[in-house]
Amino acid sequence: MRIEKLTRDSLADMQKKLLRRSTDSYPEQEAAVNAILSDVRARGDEAVFEYELRFDRCTLDASSIRVTKEEIEAAYKEVPEELVGIIRRAIERIRRFHEMQKQKSWFETEDNGMVLGQRVTPLNRVGVYVPGGKAAYPSSVLMNVIPAKVAGVNEIIMCTPPGADGRVEPTTLVAANEASADAVYKTGGAQAVAAMAYGTETIPKVDKITGPGNIYVALAKRAVYGHVSIDSVAGPSEITVLADETADARFVAADLLSQAEHDELASAILVTTSAELAEQVSGEIDNFCKVLSRAEIIGKSLDNFGHILVAETMQDAIDAVNEIASEHLEIQTKDPFLTMTKIRNAGAIFVGPWSSEPLGDYFAGPNHVLPTNGTAKFFSALSVDDFIKKTSIIYSSLEALEALHTDIEAFASAERLTAHANSVAVRFEN
């Protein structure tokens, strides 16, 4: 892994390179996605079936696109009971964490009779996208479906790409059933996003689409935003480790590689105040890559987006980490909780040497759907809040409006909105 001195220029160059992975950098794919969206919107199921045959080599029709009860039962026979138990224990932890995020409606009555409040209601129907392809992601099923269930969403449908044989990865189906998804459809890519956004003869239109995917899914979600809501436009996975001389080089290397193995566009960054640790981590990474199963993907990821930055001071390192605003941030320093208080920008923060990033991916409880590409500066993790809407409630008595009407009329008149002023004034003509 390349080792560089942390400077303003080296940080800027690295960020510029990382931003090349954003959805703005794929004009050819964007054109293809827009064509798919338009086609599915116009032809519905027929277009979805054609794209599944073209991209997933899977022949589907209206009778086979939805996963059946029998297919779910068959999936349980292929998934070891031990793994089913692990999925259930993960669900309990994830549900318990998200239950703490629930909001309640509230009302406040003023002395003059005015009642103000906020009503919290869940979305009616949500679509969850779960990727397939290079790996199975039952954890993504849990992280998207469970907060929606906790929020009280009425109907949760899921789309995931099938294999050429028309089967969905068994662990994905088991996870969907255990998390209580209402329906699973065998379609992926931009055509799945289009089907959920516009609705087809078999796939109902949703109010919001959540879940990660490849560049085609990300571009499709961005394109349909406004027609439906989305969680975010997810980019490739990222990890930054902030470490000093007390960190264990083997731990740091292993954690960096845990994200580099996702795909060739994933980024893994170490920011440290120790040149010695930097060299040790680089060596440990070389050793791990000799035995890890996805070494080829890891190698490409690290060649393109792997960095070790050596800072002169811990404050310089912290400033760099806040500027990077990574999806996952691990803190492995002498006093990690003190360091954590100085972090402003990160999707999720893992504090201390035993808080390995995969703890958050699978089992800790907080959501692993996180902001990427520096958007942790202004976006948050997926949560129960993503599956509710808040409606303001206003009731005024005559007494309350009488005390305010001259101010309202003057305010409206200042904006030259005379009909606004008149709407209040007519109530006090007599």
DSSP per-residue string spanning 229-293: EES----S-EEEEEE-TTS-HHHHHHHHHHHHTS-TT-EEEEEES-HHHHHHHHHHHHHHHTT-T
User: 105: pLDDT confidence band, cut at 50, 70 and 90?
Assistant: very high
> Does residue 207 come out as left (phi exceeding 0), alpha (psi in the -120 to 50 range) or beta?
alpha
Residue 262 reports pLDDT greater than 60? yes
In the chain, % of residues over pLDDT 90 = 91
- Looking at residue 136, its pLDDT comes to 78
User: 345: pLDDT confidence band, cut at 50, 70 and 90?
Assistant: very high
Contacts of 230 (CB under 8 A, 6+ apart): 208, 209, 210, 221, 222, 224
- Asked whether the beta carbons of 138 and 87 are under 8 A apart, the reply is yes
- Looking at residue 133, its pLDDT comes to 62
- Looking at residue 234, its pLDDT comes to 80
- Of the candidates 12, 80, 51, the one whose C-alpha atom is nearest the C-alpha of residue 190 is 51
Give me the count of residues in the chain.
430
Residue 12 reports pLDDT greater than 80? yes
Enzyme catalytic residues? 327-328
Residue 430 reports pLDDT greater than 90? no
- Of the candidates 98, 110, 103, 101, the one whose C-alpha atom is nearest the C-alpha of residue 391 is 103
- Looking at residue 125, its pLDDT comes to 98
> Which neighbouring-strand residues pair with 389?
121
Range in 84-88, 148-152, 374-378 the model is least confident about: 374-378
Residue 316 reports pLDDT greater than 80? yes
Tokens of 313: 């001071």
118-163: pLDDT as tens digits: 999 999 999 999 998 656 789 999 999 999 999 999 999 999 999 9
User: 166: pLDDT confidence band, cut at 50, 70 and 90?
Assistant: very high
Sheet with 229-230: strands ordered across: 183-186, 155-160, 125-129, 208-210, 229-230
- Of the candidates 282, 278, 277, the one whose C-alpha atom is nearest the C-alpha of residue 257 is 282
Residue 376 reports pLDDT greater than 90? yes
- Looking at residue 21, its pLDDT comes to 81
179-217: pLDDT as tens digits: 999 999 999 999 999 999 999 999 999 999 999 888 899
Region 68-86: mean pLDDT is 97
In the chain, % of residues over pLDDT 70 = 99
272-284: pLDDT as tens digits: 999 999 999 999 9
Region 250-267: mean pLDDT is 94
Residue 168 reports pLDDT greater than 60? yes
Tokens of 58: 């899977």
Region 103-127: mean pLDDT is 96
